[in-house]
Amino acid sequence: MEALAITSLSAADVAKQYEHISELGKGTYGKVDLVAHRTQGTKMALKFVTKNKTKLKSFLREYSLTGSLSCSPFIIKVLDVLFETEDSYVFGQEYAPAGDLFDIIPPQVGLPEEMVKRCMQQLGLALDFMHSKNLVHRDVKPENVLLFDRECRRIKLADFGMTRRVGCRVKRVSGTIPYTAPEVCRANRAEGFLVTTSLDVWAFGVLVFCMLTGNFPWEAALPTDAFYEEFRRWQKAGCPVGTYPSQWRRFTDDALRMFQRLLSAEPEKRCGVKDVFCFIKYELVSELRRRASHRAKRNERSRTTCLRPAPLKRSVLSDPLSPREESGQHQTSGRDKNKSQMVMATAIEICV
Ligand SMILES: Nc1ncnc2c1ncn2[C@@H]1O[C@H](COP(=O)(O)OP(=O)(O)OP(=O)(O)O)[C@@H](O)[C@H]1O
Ligand SMILES: [Mg+2]
C-alpha cells in the first residue's frame, strides 16, 4: 500500500525551488504554471488547485489516479512533486510544449482530416486504457487534451479531476456543456446517476465532430436545443440517407455510421471507444458534400431560416460547487482541514 505525503511550502520556498516561466492555463479549480526546477533545470507544469474549491482528498485522488494511468503513452505523466502552499494543493506534471487541442482547432473550419484521425487514434487508446481499468474520465474535451507538437503526432489526455470508477453514483452538477451526454443532461439532481464508460464515448463523439468542423454540434443535448432536436428527429426516423441534419451534411456515409454509434441516445447502445478505429481508414468528410452543404447554408441564410451553428468556445461546468466533491461516496473527512506540515493518506483511501 503506497502512502502519499504532502509537504507544506511557503510561497518563498516555492520561488526558491522553482523559477516561474509563464502561466499555461487557468481552470475552474486553479491554475497551471510552467516552471523550471532551479537546481535540476527541468521544466515542468505545476497544477495549483485552490483549497477553497477542492478538498485534500479529492486533490490526492486526482494525483494518485493520474499516477496510476501515467504508464500509458497517451496519458500525461505526473512527477514526484507534491506539496501544499497556504491556499493551494500542488502537483507536478510533464510539460506539454504545444499547448492544448482547443487552441489549434480553427473555428468554423476544423482540423485537416489526417490530424483528426491521429487524435482519434491516440485519444481512443487513452480512453480504452482507462475503460479497461473501469475508470471513466468524465471531462473529455479539447481543453483537456495536451499536445507535444502542433501536428498532433504526440498528444496526451489530461485533467483527471472528475474521473470516477464505473458504477459510482454521482450527483449531477447544474449546467451542461456540449460534451455532456443526454442521460446526464436529463438526470435528476437529487438522485444523480451511475457512472458508465458510455459517458466518455458520447463526449468523444462530440469532440470528433468539433475537430472535423470547428463548431459544436449543439450547445446541449436537450430537446430545447434546435440542433440536437434536428439530430434526434433524424435518428428516430432511422437515419434516412439524403435527408441529413444541416450540421451533418458534409460527412461521408461511413462517418455518419461512426457518429451514429458514438452518439446513440441510449447509452447501452453506444459502441465502445475502440470501435472508432475501424472507421479511421475511411474518408470522413466529403469535399463534394462540404461544398454543397456550404451552398445550401448560404441560400438558407439568405432566407433567414438557417440557425447558425454553435461556435467553439472553452467549456466549463457552471456549478459553483466543485463537481470533484459531488459524490456521497467521496465526502471529505475532517482531517482535510488539518493544517499540519505533513499529511499522510494511503492510496487505497483516496482511490475511487
Ligand atoms: N502539463 C501541461 N502542459 C501544458 N499545458 C498544460 C498542462 N496541464 C494543463 N495545461 C493547460 O492548463 C489548462 C488547465 O489545466 P487542467 O485542465 O488540468 O485544469 P482544470 O482546472 O482542472 O481545468 P478545468 O476544470 O477547467 O477543465 C489546460 O486546458 C491546458 O491548457
Ligand atoms: Mg481541464
Sign of CA dihedral 236, 238, 239, 242: negative
User: What average pLDDT does this structure show over 196-222?
Assistant: 97
Query: Do the domain assignments include residue 352?
Result: no
- Which residue's CA is minimally distant from atom 26 of ligand 1? 27
Query: Do the domain assignments include residue 176?
Result: yes
Which is the closest atom of ligand 1 to the Cα of 96? 3
Q: Which residues line ligand 1 (CB under 6 A)?
A: 24-25, 27-30, 32, 45, 47, 76, 93, 95-96, 99-100, 139, 143-144, 146, 158-159, 161, 316
CATH assignment at residue 49? 3.30.200.20
Query: Do the domain assignments include residue 78?
Result: yes
Does 106 share its domain with 255? Answer: yes
Q: Could you read off the pLDDT of 212-236 as tens digits, one per residue? A: 999 999 999 999 999 999 999 999 9
- 3-class secondary structure, 99: coil
Query: Do the domain assignments include residue 58?
Result: yes
Ligand in closest contact with the CA of 317: 1
Give the pLDDT confidence score for residue 316 in this predicted structure.
78
Query: Do the domain assignments include residue 348?
Result: no
- In percent, the amount of the chain with pLDDT more than 70 equals 84
Range of the domain at 202: 101-341
Query: Do the domain assignments include residue 122?
Result: yes
CATH assignment at residue 251? 1.10.510.10
Query: Do the domain assignments include residue 80?
Result: yes
Q: Could you read off the pLDDT of 268-293 as tens digits, one per residue? A: 999 999 999 999 999 999 877 777 76
Which residues form the catalytic set?
139
* Three cell numbers, residue 58: 479529492
Does 50 share its domain with 140? Answer: no
- Which residue's CA is minimally distant from atom 6 of ligand 1? 24
Does 155 share its domain with 249? Answer: yes
- Length of the chain, please? 352
Query: Do the domain assignments include residue 250?
Result: yes
Last residue of a domain, one of 28, 62, 93: 93
Question: Residues near 145 by Cβ (< 8 Å), separated by ≥ 6?
Answer: 100, 101, 119, 123, 155, 156, 157, 158, 207
